[in-house]
Amino acid sequence: MRRSDLGGLPAELNRFVGREDEIRELQGLLTRFRVVTVVGVGGVGKSRLALRTAAVTEKRYCDGARLVELASLRDAGLLEQALLDALGLTDHTRRPPREVLAGHLAGRRLLLVLDGFEHLVDACAELVRELLRRAPGLTVLAAGRCPLRLDGEAVVPLAPLPDDDAVRLFTDRAAAVLPGPRAAGGGPGAGAGPDGGAVRELCRRLDGIPLALELAAGRLPVLTVEQMLHRLDDRFRLLTGGTRGALPRHRTLRTAIGWSHELCTPRERLLWARLSVFAGPFDLEAVEYVCGGPELPADEVLDAVAGLVDRSVVLREETPAGVRHRMLDTVRAYGAEWLAALGDEERMRRRHRDWYMGLAAWCELEWFSPRQAEVAACAGSALPDLRAALELCLETPEEAHLAQHLAATLWFCWVGCGRLAEGRYWLDRVLALELGHEDARLRALWVLGYVAILQGDGTAAVAALYECGEGAARTGNALAAAYTTHRMGCLALLSDDMPRAEELLSRALTAYRELGELNSQVLMGQVELAMAKVFLGEPEAAVALCREVREVCEDRGERWTRAYALYVLAYSAWTRGAYGEARELLGECITIDHAFNDLVGLVLAVELLALVTAAEGDPAEAAVLQGAAAPMWAAVGVPLFGSRCFGAPRALCEQRAGEELGAERFRSYVAEGSALSLDAAVERALAGRPPLDGVPSPRRRSRSRSRPRPRPPRPR
C-alpha cells in the first residue's frame, strides 16, 4: 500500500466567503452522525462548503481528512480504485479493492470527503455502507445533488447565499479580475451608487448562486454591472423553460451558464460544446486535434481556449504533467447538451478516442527514453480520458478489439506506475470478448500474464500465457511467442525454478535479438536472467548482464529497468561484502522506484538494504527497515512471491538482527518501522546515502567487514 504524509485536502485558491452558520451546523452534525451529506443544485457551493468544513474540522480526526473527487469517474467498477487513489494506497494483490479499503480504514480515525457522487449514487451508497460497518473510526462528509439515503445519514440541503453574502462574494471576485476603485462600484459606469444597489440587484437576480456570481464577476473586464443587468433580462426569458416541474433554482443555474454561453463568440461556443467530450484535464495539443475542423481551424483553437479561460468557462492549472485545462462538471454538462443538439457527439467521441489511443502509443514508445518520468506524469493526468476511450471501444462490438490493443499498450502504466489492480480490471474486461482480432488479443494476453505474475496470481498467469503461446504458434506471431516465453521464465524465477527460468529467459532474449526488439521489457528480461544467475551461484555472469543493461539504460535515458539492474548489482556487492557499494546502489534504486511508485522494486530494495544495514553493524536500524517493508509487501501481493530465494535477505536480516538485539527489542524496532508511512520509510532508507558530492555520511559506519561473507541460498 502506498501511504503518504501529504495532507489529504487541497489548498484554497481564493477567499472563502460566508456560510459561517452552515459550517457550524455541519461541525455539530459530524459529532453525532457518521455520514453527513450536503445536497443542492449544481453550482450552489456544496463542494466548497464541504472542503471548508473538513479543513476546520480535520484536527478532530487522528488520521486527518481525505478528499475523493468522483465527478469525472464514469465507471462504477472503478469506484473502489478511486478511493484507493485518494487515500494514497497502491495494492498489487488479488484482493478485491474493497477488502483493501476496509483493511486500511479499519483501525483509523478519518474524515472522508466524497464529492460529485450523484451519477454513481447506488454504488457509492453501497460502498459507504460497508466501509462504515467495517471501520468504526470512519466518518463521511458527502457533497452531491442527492442524498446517499443511508441509515443514520444526516442530510443538509444547501440554499443559495443570502443577499449580503452574495454581494460579498461578488465584490471579492470582482476585485480579483478588476482591481482598484472600479471594482468597488461593480465596474466602470456601473451606476451602483453609494449603497451598491446595482451589485445587489445583480446578485438578487442571480438568486445568490455562487457559480453564477463568479461567472458574472468574470465578465467585469468587458461589461459593467448595469450592462449585465440589461442582458440578464433577455437571457432569463430565453432560458427559463426547462422541464415542467423543475425547481426554479435549477433553471436559474442554467440561465447563468447559458448567459455566459451567449457572451462567447460563435467559435468559443463551438469549442465549449466539443470540449465536453474530455473527462479530465486536457492540453492544447489534444484540443487542437479533437476539437479542430473546418468550422474551428486548428490555428484558431488557441485564441478560442484563451477566450474560454478569460470567461472562467475553462480553468487553467499546473499539474505534474505540465499546464492543463479543465472544465467544471456543471459547465461540461451544459456543453454536452449543446454538442448533442448539434448532432456531433459521436464523431467527437471517436476523435477523442483516437487521440488518446495515439497518446498511449506515444507514451509506450517514449517510456524507453529520457522522457520516462514525463510519460508517467502524462499517463496519470490522462487516465480519466484513457478510461473514457476504453469505454467507447467496448461500446461497439466491431471496435472492441481496439480496447484490447489500448489496454495492452498501457502496460507501462499498469506495471511501471503502480496501477496493477486497474490494469487487471481492464485486461480482464477486454479479454472476456472473443473478437477475432488475434494480434490484439495475443498482446493483451501476455500483458495480462505479466500483471498477474506481479500480483502473485500464478494460476491466472499460466492460463493467459498458455493461451497466448497457443495463439502465437497457430498464427505464426513470433513476437507474441517471445513475450510468452519471457513471462513464463519470469514466473519460473519467482517460483524458485532457476534452471527453467534461465533456460526460458535465455530463449526469449535470443528471440528478441533475432526480431530486433529492444525496449524496457527486453532489458527487464536480461535483468531477470541476471537474477537467476545470482541464485544459481554465478554472480560474475549476473554482474556482466546488469552492467550491460545499465549501459543501455544510461545511453537511452531509461530509469525504471535501470533500478532493477541496480538491485541485482547491489545483491552481488552484498554477497562479496562490499556493503558501501551495495548501499550506494540501493539508494539510487529506491529513489527511482519511489518516483515511479513501483512497489515491487521498492520493497525488494528496502529489504536488501535492511540486510546491508545489519551487516554494517546497525541491527536496530535494520529491524526498522525490515518493519517498513512489511506494509509494502501487503500491497504487492504474496510476501516475497512465496520465493525462498527472494526471501533470503529478509530471513538473514531477521536472524542477524534478532540475535544481536534479542527477540523483544527486535520486535519493537520492527513495529516502529511498520508504523512508518511509505514516504517516511523511503526517507529513512535514504538517510544513510552519501551526499551527491561524494562526501561520506557520518550517520553510519561499516563495522562488520571482518565477518564471514554471506552467500545467497541455492534454489531447491
Owning domain of residue 141: 20-157
In this prediction, residues 543-547 reach a mean pLDDT of 94
- Last residue in a domain, options 135, 157, 179: 157
Residue 266 lies in a domain: no
Contact partners, residue 563, CB within 8 Å, separation at least 6: 588, 589, 592, 593, 596, 598, 601, 605
Cβ-count burial of 365 within 10 angstroms (0-12 exposed, 13-18 middle, 19+ buried)?
middle
User: What are 565's three cell numbers?
Assistant: 539492474
- Residue 71 pLDDT more than 70? yes
pLDDT on residue 451: 93
pLDDT level of residue 529 (50, 70, 90 thresholds) = very high
547-599 per-position pLDDT tens digit: 999 999 999 999 999 999 999 999 999 988 899 999 999 999 999 999 888 88
Number of folded domains in the chain? Answer: 4
Domain boundary among 142, 157, 172: 157
Owner of C-alpha cell 485564441: 303
Let me know whether 604 and 629 are in one domain.
yes
Has residue 232 got a pLDDT over 80? Answer: no
- Residue 453 in any domain: the answer is no
Same-domain pairing of 117 and 174: no
Domain identity same for 616 and 661 = yes
Residue 262 has what pLDDT?
76
Q: Are 508 and 571 in a shared domain?
A: no
Q: What is the CATH number of the domain that holds 487?
A: 1.25.40.10
User: What is the number of other CB atoms lying within 10 angstroms of the CB of residue 194?
Assistant: 6
Any domain includes 33 = yes
Do 151 and 24 belong together in one domain?
Answer: yes
579 and 667 co-located in one domain: yes
Residues 151-196: tens digit of each pLDDT: 889 988 888 888 888 888 888 888 877 765 454 444 433 333 334 7
Q: Is residue 581 part of a domain?
A: yes
Q: Is the dihedral of CA 407, 408, 410, 411 positive or negative?
A: positive
Task: Please tell me the distance from the alpha carbon of residue 206 to that of residue 217, in angstroms, as a whole number.
Answer: 12
For 286-301, write each residue's pLDDT tens digit: 999 999 888 888 888 9
Same domain, 230 and 250: yes
Q: Do 27 and 153 lie in a common domain?
A: yes
Q: What is the pLDDT of residue 253?
A: 61
Does 249 have pLDDT greater than 60?
A: no
Q: pLDDT tens digits for 427-449?
A: 999 998 877 788 999 999 999 99
Given a cut of 90, whether residue 62 has pLDDT beyond it is no
Distances (CA, A) of 509 to 49, 413, 481, 482, 490: 58, 23, 12, 8, 12
Note whether residue 31 is domain-resident: yes
Residues 183 and 77 in one domain: no
- Per residue in 389-417, pLDDT tens? 999 999 888 888 999 999 999 999 999 88
* pLDDT tens string 608-638: 999 999 999 899 999 999 999 888 887 766 6
507 and 612 housed in the same domain: no
Q: What is the pLDDT of residue 179?
A: 64
Other CB atoms within a 10 A radius of the CB of residue 619 amount to 23
Amino acid at 108: R
Q: Identify the domain boundary among 128, 157, 186.
A: 157
Per-residue pLDDT for 304 more than 80?
yes
450, part of any domain = no
CATH number of the domain encompassing residue 93? 3.40.50.300
Residues 151 and 223 in one domain: no
Radius of gyration of the CA atoms of the chain, in A? 29
Share of the chain above pLDDT 90, in %: 42
Q: Taking residues 81-104, what's their average pLDDT?
A: 83
The answer to the question of residue 712 being in a domain is: no
Is residue 663 domain-resident? yes
